[in-house]
Amino acid sequence: MAWLSLKLPADADQAEAWSDALMAAGALSVSIEDRDAGTEAEQPQFGEPGLDEPKSWQRNWVEALLPAEADVPALIAEAAGAAKLTVPVDYQVEKIEEQDWVRLTQSQFEPIRISDRLWIVPSWHEPPNPQAICIELDPGLAFGTGSHPTTRLCLRWLEQNVRPGEAVLDYGCGSGILAIAAAKLGAGRVLGVDIDPQAVTASRDNAERNKIEAMFCTADELPPLPNPLPLAGEGTVAKPKAIYDVLVANILTNPLRALRPLLAARVRCGGRIALSGILEAQAGEILDAYGAEFDMHLWAAEEGWVCLEGVKRC
């Protein structure tokens, strides 16, 4: 069986109307994507609690999957009429052939070497080095398979910096890969946090698959901070459970900047932080933002992305 893929440009005030109208006209599925993704005009949406941000992109692709026999111009005209919209002249149509999607997806993911002793291994592969620490991870609905430079940077940082028994917070956990790595590298209490409930579910499943103990929750479910916070030098024998020795956040520059108070408050005096998801050109912004509370510097760079690290001042 084959299908047709329709990509139709739409501004922010039209995208939802096109989506509903195309479904009503016979589309099998419809999604809305950022038309400027991958460019300087890309407009990230983070969904972090309490952040004031746009609810939709200004320029969109409305992408619809249609039956192979669909009369595309007629279907678009029907949808436009129902939604009282003008038919764009620059829509795109592509034929999608039937494929073994499972086999095709699996062929795209090979074991990823992070270092001599740390590998990411899909479940359908044998570990290339059984003596190494292997994280079994399948691609899913959440970001974080180890293929992106920022994930690899964070994994290498954790390998070199996590000490046995330390408490680690992975903010923006995605697939749970960093939290799982921290646990396998000897961390004690590990918590992964994400704004996406599907990411939390995927992280829990991946943790179970890897036979490690870690907690995962949404950002709204973060344990409350102690009130008042311990003073410098206090809490070193029994640290409050909402405060961590190590915090790693692999997200993006804008949410990292906006979340600075929240993230900084979760790191103990003398604790360490690792931040990634940052382009090299943006590193200075984050170094300056976190420099008020941390001794920050560039740890490593790869393919235009950086990992920054810092120690919280007392």
Write the pLDDT tens digit of every residue in 186-201. 999 999 999 989 889 9
In this structure, the answer to whether residues 66 and 178 fall within a common structural domain is: no
In this structure, the answer to whether residues 87 and 166 fall within a common structural domain is: no
In this structure, the answer to whether residues 191 and 281 fall within a common structural domain is: yes
Q: Is residue 92 part of a domain?
A: yes
Q: What is the pLDDT of residue 276?
A: 96
Least confident segment among 8-22, 101-115, 213-227: 101-115
Domain with residue 202: its CATH number is 3.40.50.150
Q: Which helix (H) or strand (E) segment is 18 a member of?
A: helix 15-25
Q: What is the pLDDT of residue 144?
A: 62
Confidence of residue 234 (pLDDT cuts 50, 70, 90): very low
Residue 113 has pLDDT above 80, yes or no: yes
Give the N- to C-terminal CA distance of the chain in Å, as an integer. Answer: 64
Q: What is the pLDDT of residue 291?
A: 96
Q: What is the pLDDT of residue 49?
A: 47
Q: Which domain holds residue 10?
A: 3-98
Q: What is the pLDDT of residue 283?
A: 95
Residue 91 has pLDDT above 80, yes or no: yes
Last residue of a domain, one of 98, 131, 160: 98
In this structure, the answer to whether residues 77 and 219 fall within a common structural domain is: no
In this structure, the answer to whether residues 243 and 308 fall within a common structural domain is: yes
Domain with residue 47: its CATH number is 3.30.70
Q: What is the pLDDT of residue 112?
A: 82
Task: Give the global pTM.
Answer: 0.67
Query: What is the C-alpha to C-alpha distance for residues 184 and 162, in angstroms, rounded to an integer?
Result: 10
In this structure, the answer to whether residues 153 and 294 fall within a common structural domain is: yes
Q: Is residue 114 part of a domain?
A: no
Q: What is the pLDDT of residue 72?
A: 93
Q: Is residue 118 part of a domain?
A: no
In this structure, the answer to whether residues 151 and 265 fall within a common structural domain is: yes
Confidence of residue 233 (pLDDT cuts 50, 70, 90): very low
Q: Is residue 106 part of a domain?
A: no
Express as a percent the part of the chain with pLDDT over 90. Answer: 60
CA proximity to 182, closest of 202, 167, 204, 197: 167
In this structure, the answer to whether residues 296 and 149 fall within a common structural domain is: yes
Q: Is residue 129 part of a domain?
A: no
Q: Is residue 54 part of a domain?
A: yes
Q: Which helix (H) or strand (E) segment is 200 a member of?
A: helix 197-209
Q: Is residue 112 part of a domain?
A: no
Confidence of residue 165 (pLDDT cuts 50, 70, 90): very high
Token pair 């940052």: residue: 278
CB-count burial class (<10 Å; 0-12, 13-18, 19+) for 301: middle
In this structure, the answer to whether residues 79 and 172 fall within a common structural domain is: no
Express as a percent the part of the chain with pLDDT over 70. Answer: 84
Query: What is the C-alpha to C-alpha distance for residues 194 and 249, in angstroms, rounded to an integer?
Result: 10
In this structure, the answer to whether residues 209 and 307 fall within a common structural domain is: yes
Least confident segment among 65-69, 88-92, 99-103, 120-124: 99-103
Taking only the tens place, the pLDDT of each residue in 12-71 is 999 999 999 999 999 989 999 888 887 777 766 545 444 455 556 889 999 998 998 999
In this structure, the answer to whether residues 156 and 238 fall within a common structural domain is: yes
Q: Give the mean model confidence (pLDDT) for residues 303-311.
A: 96
Q: Is residue 105 part of a domain?
A: no
In this structure, the answer to whether residues 176 and 234 fall within a common structural domain is: yes
Q: Give the mean model confidence (pLDDT) for residues 83-96.
A: 90
**Identity (one letter) of the amino acid at 231?**
L
Number of domains in the chain: 2
